């Protein structure tokens, strides 16, 4: 997700430092081949994919970040537990896009391209997203059906079929591009 976001930010004129870390990351691990191939759209992103090494998320990284994006609500919650002061700056990427679109519709999103102002606008609109009901049927979960995926999550596709893995990586790139478009300064 980080390489896709960094590429989109560079191409969209958004100045932001991108750091990749995961709470379950195996330090030093390389990026998976599917992700490297999918995000390697130009020489710079191919080089970033080749050089990428996993690192564990730490409270220090969280505290220094202006915007923290995770793939799932579970990851978002884990970040907030590690650093309660980060709650106003941590979102799933799909949530950040949805909140950014809501802020833009209400003409509340800053046009300056300032990351801190954009994050404040996202946080201010948290209560404006529709509540998702993940239950199946009237009032309970069916034991035979999996609950529908949360629309604010981008589930991990490692271990999935190649087509599903590629689809999810492309979705992460698409969300990154949309978020950057919402963050970009308007002139």
Assigned domain for 95 exists: yes
Q: What share of the chain is helix, strand, coil (3-state, %, to 5)?
A: 50, 5, 45
Assigned domain for 139 exists: no
129: CB partners within 8 A, 6+ apart: 95, 98, 99, 102, 152
Q: Is 151 helix (H, G, I), strand (E, B) or coil?
A: coil
Which of 86, 87, 70, 83 shows the shortest CA–CA distance to 22?
A: 70
pTM recorded for the entire structure? 0.84
Q: Note the pLDDT of residue 178.
A: 95
Cβ atoms within 10 Å, residue 7? 23
Q: Note the pLDDT of residue 136.
A: 42
Assigned domain for 57 exists: yes
Assigned domain for 120 exists: yes
Q: List, for residues 57-67, the tens digit of each pLDDT value.
A: 999 999 999 99
Number of domains into which the chain is organized: 1
Structural domain boundaries, residue 74: 2-130+150-183
Q: List, for residues 38-47, the tens digit of each pLDDT value.
A: 887 788 888 8
Q: Do the beta carbons of residue 154 and residue 172 sit within 8 Å?
A: yes
Query: pLDDT 10s digit of each residue in the chain, 187 long?
Result: 888 888 888 888 888 899 999 998 999 999 988 888 888 778 888 888 889 899 999 999 999 999 999 999 999 999 999 999 999 999 999 999 999 999 888 888 776 778 999 999 999 999 887 765 544 444 455 555 555 578 888 888 788 798 888 899 899 999 999 999 999 887 5
Q: What is the CATH number of the domain that holds 63?
A: 3.40.50.2300
């Amino acid at each position: 997700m980080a390489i896709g976001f960094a590429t989109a930010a560079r191409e969209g004129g958004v100045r932001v430092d991108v750091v990749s870390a995961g709470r379950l990351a195996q330090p030093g691990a390389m990026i998976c081949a599917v992700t490297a191939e999918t995000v390697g759209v130009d020489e710079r992103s191919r080089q970033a994919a080749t050089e990428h090494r996993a690192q564990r998320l730490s409270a220090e990284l969280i505290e220094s970040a202006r915007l923290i994006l995770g793939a799932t609500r579970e990851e978002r919650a884990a970040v907030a537990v590690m650093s309660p002061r980060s709650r106003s700056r941590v979102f799933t990427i799909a949530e950040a896009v949805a909140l950014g679109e809501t802020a833009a519709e209400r003409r509340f999103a800053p046009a300056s391209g300032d990351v801190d102002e954009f994050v404040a606008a996202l946080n201010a609109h948290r209560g404006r997203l529709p509540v998702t009901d993940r239950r199946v049927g009237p009032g309970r979960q069916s034991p035979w059906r999996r609950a529908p995926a949360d629309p604010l999550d981008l589930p991990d596709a490692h271990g999935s079929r190649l087509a599903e893995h590629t689809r999810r990586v492309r979705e992460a790139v698409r969300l990154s591009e949309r978020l950057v478009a919402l963050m970009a300064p308007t002139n």
